[in-house]
Amino acid sequence: MPKAFVTILGKTIKHVARLRGGGSALPGLIVERIDPDFVSHYLKSLPFGVVVVSGTNGKTTTTKIIVELLQGQGLKVFTNRTGSNFSRGIAAALLGEIDIKGNLSADIAVLELDEAHAVHFVDKIPPKYSLILNVMRDQLDRFGEIDYTAKLLRHVANKTTDTVILNRDDEKIAQIAMSLDGQKTSFFGADQKLLGMFPGDDNLHHNASQKNNNIKATVVLKKVEPKSASFVINNQKVETNLMLTGVYNALNAAAALTTVMTILGNKTNQTRLIKDLSKIEPAFGRGERLVLNGHPIDLVLVKNPSGFRLGLKSFSPYKYATMIAINDEYADGRDMSWLWDVDFSSLNNTGVAEISGTRAYDMALRLNYDDVPFKNVDPDLKKALNNFIKKYPKSSKRIYCTYTAMITIRKSLSRITNAKAIR
């Protein structure tokens, strides 16, 4: 079937699916069935190639930063923005960008792919660049073991045709550099003093002092303040304001800067790059700030022990009312073991105002064993959210939530706050 015809057909299905409120992946699924080469045909024709972003934590935020930075440098960027990071999600996203004549108007594609999907994707479409952020225990019920996940990421790196961008300070990721066949490498990292903020799985329960590798990094995160950060970029110190919150988002920014500079090389307009970075907002639910009656509600997505621990370390609970919502749907992971690998004692003094989600009582029990007081437990997310908002009308609020809990909370809040719709 000619591509143009598949495109028109797909666009029609997409339109119909939208009318009936269907999911974003369905039209992509149908297009893939009819024309399995649909995605690769278009992506292989891009002049700057394909960038794959993978790893356990930070994919969505980092992808968003790279896309906006590249746009600032004048490139037309195709991305899978809906967070539907499976290949049929990419097909669906492509449908929106291809014109009726079958032309994709883009210079480069930046795609967020989870480890398991990335492996199959790179077999079909070898990316020109890959950015590998970190590997930590996440959804072991899906991936089995961390070593296995690291193997998947190594495969992504080995299928890359030009340059692999790696986290210097994540040992399992830095080691990927040893097993490449001829690809170039670039690295990003954090200053020695900040490494304690990024506890890996190997020092979950003991405080082995972390050390930097000797590897030279293109961009090093030097310092993080509440609304600014400083980086060392090619040995030069650069300070900038940041709207991205949390030390982990600042490290994601370092990863994104490294990636963009690797792609554009000496054509990078660094002044513009830093100026654009300062204006980038967090991705939805990833440290995103909503405003209700003049008071902020910060959403912090937590989905694995390292992410939760980073969140607790990054955001002070003082002067905030805290809510935690833990679901165990498939997309969250059914296994609740991970909650026991998070140390909640930083909440000892402030306590937690509201606990919710399908596993609200597991969370409550967890807090109880860390002597963290809590006010109310209600597994019904909408009721809990209403209660939380009513009880703390004049406070800044922070909600730690798993993926599906975040979607529900955001949907409820979008009616009464400035939350942008998820495209």
Closer by beta carbon to other proteins, 42 or else 374: 374
The least CB distance from residue 54 to other proteins, in Å, is 20
The least CB distance from residue 181 to other proteins, in Å, is 24
- Alpha-helical runs (H) found in 370-402: 381-391
Closer by beta carbon to other proteins, 262 or else 306: 306
The least CB distance from residue 261 to other proteins, in Å, is 34
Give backbone dihedrals phi and psi of 323, rounded to 5 degrees, phi first.
-125, 145
The least CB distance from residue 251 to other proteins, in Å, is 23
Closer by beta carbon to other proteins, 5 or else 340: 340
> How many CB atoms lie under 10 A from the CB of residue 193?
9
| In contact, 242 and 229? CB cutoff 8 Å | yes
Closer by beta carbon to other proteins, 99 or else 141: 141
42, 68, 250, 270, 278 from 108: Cα distances, Å: 11, 12, 24, 19, 23
The least CB distance from residue 133 to other proteins, in Å, is 20
Closer by beta carbon to other proteins, 5 or else 361: 361
Chain contacts with other proteins (rule: CB under 8 A):
137, 140-141, 144-147, 201-202, 204-206, 305, 328, 334-341, 358-362, 364-366, 368-370, 377, 379
Q: Which long-range CB contacts under 8 A does 264-268 form with residues at least 24 apart? A: 264/73, 267/73, 268/73
| In contact, 94 and 46? CB cutoff 8 Å | no
Q: How far apart are CA 256 and CA 250, in angstroms?
A: 10
The least CB distance from residue 368 to other proteins, in Å, is 6
The least CB distance from residue 337 to other proteins, in Å, is 3
78, 124, 272, 339 from 74: Cα distances, Å: 13, 28, 11, 43
Closer by beta carbon to other proteins, 177 or else 204: 204
Pairing relationship of beta strands 219-225 and 184-190 according to DSSP bridges = parallel
Closer by beta carbon to other proteins, 309 or else 397: 309
Q: In the chain, what is the straight-line distance between the N-terminal and C-terminal CA atoms, in Å? A: 29
